[in-house]
Structure 1
């Protein structure tokens, strides 16, 4: 590969190492690695969207409408906990075998999902899939950072981001078709051949330089972060549904979660190799990027998970048609993501895309909120297109910003931090919006039935059809809905429409917050190499200024001073890189 770290460089070849050589594009081996990464990303992201159209049918068959969001939440919860652990371990011990292990675990979860005979067994299978997803998603992005410099990375991350768009099209469409014609169990088996192909590509072609970092695994951080996250997310999922928000169970879980998470923060400031280094999260550019990723994820899953529910429950379309409704959004996201990646690589600027994307996404959610019962599918389609444009403009850019702001030795940890907070946002968003939906449905449907004309109510009472319990399941199960009296169909769908209106309305503030956060992200010139100035300066025989070609890297704030480094001429290096080189820490191993 004409990129970084495909093989370990010899000491006497430092000046021509792939780490510092000018990037001219991926060679054949690099392209095959990139294909393997895209396949792995495709499998992981497909699992998040392919089940969407089938979820109403799954809960209709297995029951569990009151736990509807758990089919998605289980995978997201485990993935969120896994991401920072894998990110740090990959920095310490290399990425290849962690990536392959993540693929294997994900495929095991797929097999278990297809075999599920009960709702909670399916939730367990999704949790196993989440363990694999929590490995694949961050490491795919991190390995891209290992082999492609930030200045040229926008194009490749745009293509990688388009994978999400493709799965947003293929997932719901395949999910709806398979659910209608073969049954939802086949959704889990369909990803296995793709996973096997990705495994073969990575096993044969990915050979990164072995990490030379040393340090103890932060077990204390793992054993405080994991229960803290699990308790906090479980409380968020159960609150307002299984338990009242003010109940002792929910308040106690939040209190215990806070104690674990506070302990985690204290531990991270003291250990040698922290799981989530606080100095990374305290950098403004990193902090703003991960916070924006969190809020966008909350809003995004409000569309991906709950639009099919609106289409089936309110508009009365089939599972296949509800999946097809998302296609325009996904096409908009794909085309925009690729275009933005190319423009960033060409211009080196990313801020305009972040801000424009935030504005467009807010408009899209405004269109969703404005939907009313009886509106045509075209209005829903328009909202989806606008949201897709907003996501394509901004979503992948946050990862690029963070990767450009950190040294390569922290690349896995920093990339994992973005994915971690994105996963937390997905989990919180699915849980909170699911709680809003289930809390609103029963009330809205009951009120709509109570508002029926007196003669219809009398007819229902005479036939014993006034029991409204379980009508939420009927709204999502065509066979159950067809067995109800005709007079109930419209009130049920209108009640579902009101509940979904509240779901979309809840997502709007998160889109607004993402826009505000993006406004404060400063522009930092993108590097031309995978190494930062301070890393190049410590390598014998390497002229850092010449290698960077005068391109700035990161501002002074990114690396606090812990020791002097070789003096670099600011006129040759660029002011930002000179500041980073003078103010960056280095360990004894780097010296």
Structure 2
């Protein structure tokens, strides 16, 4: 009988998670350059939202399929799609093409994080699992340490296309490692895939995302189109609940949500998902467009998130069984509140190092909460439900990313448009494309540049205030977690 080689499986999983996490940080740093090259600032949030939409929709499907057919085959499918999407993103010649290929990339990304985390949950047990998941969670931090820096260097040297292509060798090595060193017991379950649930989730998230991103642009908020989209979303959600209660193998088994640990951990993960996407999407924009700094400096400010993340994740893995998820998560959300509150007061004249300090505080909060939730959720269910339980947490985090990208993009766009209209300016949203490019920025008269940067500053500060409100919500939700020691 073949035996799983844990250390080599762990290395393969880390590579896969690094690949998925690096994508989030590198693309954020590269987006000002991509937007300046391809244009289309009004579709800026779609580059994030398209990727997040597909990964959010598919994470539940992949989680359920992994429980039915085994982890390996689903892992291979997901990584393969991710790599195909990465290659295509790199050859995009327009913003519309990039958005389309990000859909493909996201289709595969939905499998990478939850299946990788589930594999570790299968291979390791007890306190060892908590420690390993802590190390694994810190991959997000390590990737962000290198991601923004690598992204900034790549953008300024060989071009933004390579921020996508860097994924390809990592993904291939990860698949080879899992193929050779992970050995699963053969799955005997009869497959009852919840296709109705999958279709309804797709419609729900797609319509909600379209409403948030395109509202106020393609259609007015108070219009027949807007109301119709909301009614479709509500109707499909009602049908989804009914379908899931009747399904043999539901895409989202509501029974696991009766566990208070899973319920509140997932709700907090949704909120922190909004915070994370807001920071990773718009801090580079602030540093580049408002402060006039280079991409590599913007990368540095994001890097600080992940210096705090791996430190906190490692500590959480060591202390989880001793102090419990409640205490660690409480401390984590306090760091999130303090960090996001600090962003409300940043100014364009400040040294970027101050932004890095704020990012570091948020990273501490993210590391403490993410590790605590992953381990406690996996310990709360049996092997047969571990895949979908882990995926449910990833789903809520991704859902927070998706809603956050759309909601925060809407806030920034609408605030900037109002600023331009109130000042009777002849400029429109497309001017931000020029603000994010060091060369075109030089073409503005000093007075115009100051006016436009002030508007972008105001818009991003409004977004930072919303992030702070979400951090406060996460702090309140922590008190719903069971106050017990152990995981």
Same fold flag (TM > 0.5)? yes
Q: Hey, which of these two has a bigger chunk of helix by percent? A: 2
* Equivalent residues of 1:442, 1:472 under 8 A apart: no
The whole-number CA distance in structure 2 between the counterparts of 1:331 and 1:194 is: 22
Residues 398-409 of structure 1 aligned to structure 2 (within 5 Å)? 398-409=373-384
Which residue of the partner structure matches residue 355 of structure 2? 380
Deviations 1:442-496 (A, max 9, x none): 333566x77xxxxxxxxxxxxxxx6323422222122211111122222222221
Of the three residues 251, 262, 275, the one matched with 2:238 is 262
Deviations 1:345-366 (A, max 9, x none): 5x26232110000011101100
Deviations 1:100-144 (A, max 9, x none): 111111110111011111111111111111111101111011111
Which residue of the partner structure matches residue 136 of structure 1? 112
Which residue of the partner structure matches residue 413 of structure 1? 388
Deviations 1:237-286 (A, max 9, x none): 22234333222222211211211121111011112111100111232221
Deviations 1:185-242 (A, max 9, x none): 1111111111111111111111111233335211221222221221122212222343
* Equivalent residues of 1:150, 1:400 under 8 A apart: no
The whole-number CA distance in structure 1 between the counterparts of 2:275 and 2:221 is: 22
Which residue of the partner structure matches residue 130 of structure 2? 154
Shift of 1:320: 1.3
Shift of 1:304: 1.2
Seen in structure 2, the aligned counterparts of structure 1 residues 58 and 203 have a Cα distance that, compared at 3 Å, is same
Residues 104-115 of structure 1 aligned to structure 2 (within 5 Å)? 104-115=80-91
Q: Say which one has the larger Rg.
A: 1
* Equivalent residues of 1:310, 1:497 under 8 A apart: yes
Which residue of the partner structure matches residue 361 of structure 1? 336
Shift of 1:524: 5.4
Q: Which has the higher contact order (CA 8 A, sep 6+)?
A: 2
Secondary structure in 1 aligned to 2:193? coil
The whole-number CA distance in structure 2 between the counterparts of 1:76 and 1:6 is: 37
Alignment of 1:318 onto 2:294: yes
Secondary structure in 1 aligned to 2:475? helix
Secondary structure in 2 aligned to 1:306? helix
* Equivalent residues of 1:373, 1:494 under 8 A apart: no
Shift of 1:316: 0.6
The whole-number CA distance in structure 2 between the counterparts of 1:143 and 1:525 is: 25
The whole-number CA distance in structure 2 between the counterparts of 1:110 and 1:306 is: 22
Of the three residues 257, 268, 292, the one matched with 2:268 is 292
Structure 1 residues 286-295 or 328-337, which shifts more? 328-337
* Equivalent residues of 2:155, 2:295 under 8 A apart: yes
Of the three residues 441, 453, 464, the one matched with 1:493 is 453
* Equivalent residues of 2:325, 2:485 under 8 A apart: no
Shift of 1:311: 0.4
Of the three residues 77, 87, 100, the one matched with 2:53 is 77
Which residue of the partner structure matches residue 401 of structure 2? 426
* Equivalent residues of 2:336, 2:365 under 8 A apart: yes
Residues 461-540 of structure 1 aligned to structure 2 (within 5 Å)? 467-469=426-428, 470-523=430-483, 526=486
Q: Which runs of 5+ in 2 are unaligned?
A: none
Residues 20-35 of structure 1 aligned to structure 2 (within 5 Å)? 29-35=5-11
Structure 1 residues 423-432 or 368-377, which shifts more? 368-377
TM-score by length of 1: 0.79
Of the three residues 366, 383, 386, the one matched with 1:391 is 366
Deviations 1:142-170 (A, max 9, x none): 11111112432221111111110112121
Which residue of the partner structure matches residue 43 of structure 1? 19
The whole-number CA distance in structure 2 between the counterparts of 1:54 and 1:163 is: 20
Secondary structure in 1 aligned to 2:246? coil
* Equivalent residues of 1:445, 1:494 under 8 A apart: no
Which residue of the partner structure matches residue 273 of structure 1? 249
Structure 1 residues 395-404 or 130-139, which shifts more? 395-404
The whole-number CA distance in structure 1 between the counterparts of 2:391 and 2:222 is: 34
Of the three residues 142, 145, 160, the one matched with 2:121 is 145
The whole-number CA distance in structure 2 between the counterparts of 1:240 and 1:283 is: 39
The whole-number CA distance in structure 2 between the counterparts of 1:166 and 1:240 is: 38
Secondary structure in 2 aligned to 1:276? coil
TM-score by length of 2: 0.96
The whole-number CA distance in structure 1 between the counterparts of 2:302 and 2:78 is: 28
Seen in structure 2, the aligned counterparts of structure 1 residues 269 and 525 have a Cα distance that, compared at 3 Å, is farther
Alignment root-mean-square deviation, CA: 1.8
Q: Which runs of 5+ in 1 are unaligned?
A: 8-26, 451-465, 528-591
Residues 216-235 of structure 1 aligned to structure 2 (within 5 Å)? 216-235=192-211
Shift of 1:381: 2.0
* Equivalent residues of 2:316, 2:371 under 8 A apart: no
Equivalent pairs, count: 486
The whole-number CA distance in structure 2 between the counterparts of 1:214 and 1:378 is: 56
The whole-number CA distance in structure 1 between the counterparts of 2:356 and 2:191 is: 52
